[in-house]
Amino acid sequence: MPRPMRHRRPSRRNAREAAENYLDYSAFSRDGLIKQLTFEGYTRKQAEYGVSKAGL
């Protein structure tokens, strides 16, 4: 039986990595970084996950 969550994990991991990369070179508020990630094509849920895991 396929695991539907497997397809989402790379996107969540990518969202976390993207959030960390943004924070490495620029200051963002939590909301601002979520908006940036959703602008890049991540879903709101993926962006919130990534920002949370990045420490915001």
Give the angle subtended at the CA of 17 by the CAs of 9 and 33, to the nearest 5°.
Answer: 105
Give residue-wise pLDDT tens across range 1-56: 444 444 456 799 999 999 999 999 999 999 999 999 999 999 999 999 999 999 99
- This model's pTM is above 0.85: no
Tell me what pLDDT residue 9 has: 63
Most distant CA atoms of the chain, gap in Å: 43
Q: What is the DSSP string of 21-46?
A: HHHHHS---HHHHHHHHHHTT--HHH
